[in-house]
């Protein structure tokens, strides 16, 4: 601009009118037209801002944030409940294990008393009838010359047989106690195998019925209901009226209920109550029946 002014001033001082036009042309040419960059397109930015404004005005973002906070709080609450349930289950399992052990101890004491009573009855029977001894002596006297030649041979044979029988009874009892110890230790799989082997080794032994019952219990505790049901049914068929069969009947009713067969469970439990109304198992059966009826309501 300064150069333009100087040129105009020089034209005036020179007084040459003819030069004015060239000077004017020069002045116009000397003017520098500034270069302008294209204006940025703000329409896209405006649209984005407008969308954000609409979202804020509608409260959608705030509502979404509130929902996320609520969900987070609910998740934390559920996690706390899950932990509480896990602790409760652990305590219930410990209590159940303790009750099972007490139950096993009581059953073992009952079996010991029954065994002792049977043993006492057997000893009393051996000491009673002198007539039986006389009859045996008479039969031995007339049994032949061999018996007459060796009068002590009969006593020796009887002693040998009694000793062998006593040895077998001791072995059977020890085998049974070994299997029962595994059950008490909650080694249910090992106890199941050992009780099954015991039944195979002593099919007609003094503890066969009890072993069969506890074999069923090992499967019942493991919730192997079908296998336990089969074993308990065999026990009832094999020893009808026996204490083990009575307990097996109760478990059959329990299993039928657990398998979702309430009608069959009711039939079995009511049959137990009718046949053994004064037994402890009858009281337990009544309680289970009440539970089944409540579930149906």
Q: 210 near 110, Cβ under 8 Å?
A: no
Burial 179-202 (b: 16+ CB within 10 A, else e): bbebbeeeebeebbebbbebbeeb
Check residues 82 and 219 and name the one with the higher pLDDT.
Answer: 219
Q: 111 near 205, Cβ under 8 Å?
A: no
Confidence of residue 169 (pLDDT cuts 50, 70, 90): confident
Cα 54 to Cα 50: distance, rounded to the nearest angstrom:
6
Contacting residues for 272 by C-beta, under 8 A, at least 6 apart: 246, 249, 250, 253, 279, 281, 282, 285
Give the per-residue pLDDT at 49. Answer: 76
Give the per-residue pLDDT at 241. Answer: 78
pLDDT at 12 over 80: no
Check residues 84 and 207 and name the one with the higher pLDDT.
Answer: 207
Cα 171 to Cα 99: distance, rounded to the nearest angstrom:
30
Ordered DSSP codes for 62-119: HHHHHHHHHHHHHHHHHHHHHHHHHHHHHHHHHHHHHHHHHHHHHHHHHHHHHHHHHH
pLDDT in tens, 190-211: 999 999 999 999 988 888 889 9
Domains of the chain in sequence order: 178-297 (1.25.40.10)
Handedness of CA 107, 108, 113, 118 (dihedral sign): positive
Check residues 128 and 266 and name the one with the higher pLDDT.
Answer: 266
Q: Which of 3-17, 33-47, 88-102, 283-297 has the highest mean pLDDT?
A: 283-297
Cα 189 to Cα 195: distance, rounded to the nearest angstrom:
10
Cite the DSSP H helix spans in 128-242.
Answer: 130-141, 145-149, 153-184, 188-201, 208-221, 225-238
Find tokens 């409760």 and name the residue: 88
Q: 255 near 239, Cβ under 8 Å?
A: no
Cα 196 to Cα 219: distance, rounded to the nearest angstrom:
12
Q: What average pLDDT does the chain have?
A: 71
pLDDT at 125 over 90: no
CB neighbours (10 Å) of residue 87? 10
């Amino acid at each position: 601009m300064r150069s333009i002014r100087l040129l105009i001033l020089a034209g005036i001082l020179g007084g040459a009118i003819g030069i004015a036009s060239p000077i004017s042309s020069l002045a116009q040419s000397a003017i520098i037209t500034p270069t302008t960059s294209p204006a940025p397109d703000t329409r896209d930015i405006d649209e984005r801002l407008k969308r954000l404004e609409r979202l804020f005005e509608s409260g959608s973002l705030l509502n979404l944030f509130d929902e996320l906070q609520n969900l987070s709080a609910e998740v934390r609450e559920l996690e706390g409940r899950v932990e509480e349930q896990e602790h409760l289950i652990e305590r219930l399992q410990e209590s159940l294990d303790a009750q099972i052990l007490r139950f096993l101890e009581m059953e073992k004491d009952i079996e010991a008393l029954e065994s002792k009573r049977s043993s006492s009855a057997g000893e009393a029977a051996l000491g009673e009838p002198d007539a039986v001894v006389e009859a045996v002596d008479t039969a031995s006297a007339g049994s032949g010359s061999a018996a007459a030649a060796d009068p002590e041979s009969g006593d020796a044979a009887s002693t040998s047989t009694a000793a062998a029988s006593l040895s077998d009874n001791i072995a059977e009892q020890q085998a049974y106690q070994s299997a029962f110890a595994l059950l008490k230790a909650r080694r249910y799989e090992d106890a199941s195998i050992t009780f099954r082997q015991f039944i195979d080794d002593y099919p007609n032994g003094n503890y066969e019925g009890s072993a069969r019952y506890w074999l069923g219990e090992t499967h019942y505790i493991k919730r192997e209901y079908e296998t336990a049901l089969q074993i308990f049914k065999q026990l009832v068929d094999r020893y009808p009226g026996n204490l083990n069969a009575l307990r097996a009947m109760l478990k059959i009713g329990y299993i039928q209920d657990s398998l979702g067969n309430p009608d069959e469970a009711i039939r079995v439990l009511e049959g137990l109550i009718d046949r053994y109304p004064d037994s402890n198992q009858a009281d337990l059966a009544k309680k289970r029946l009440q539970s089944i009826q409540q579930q149906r309501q």
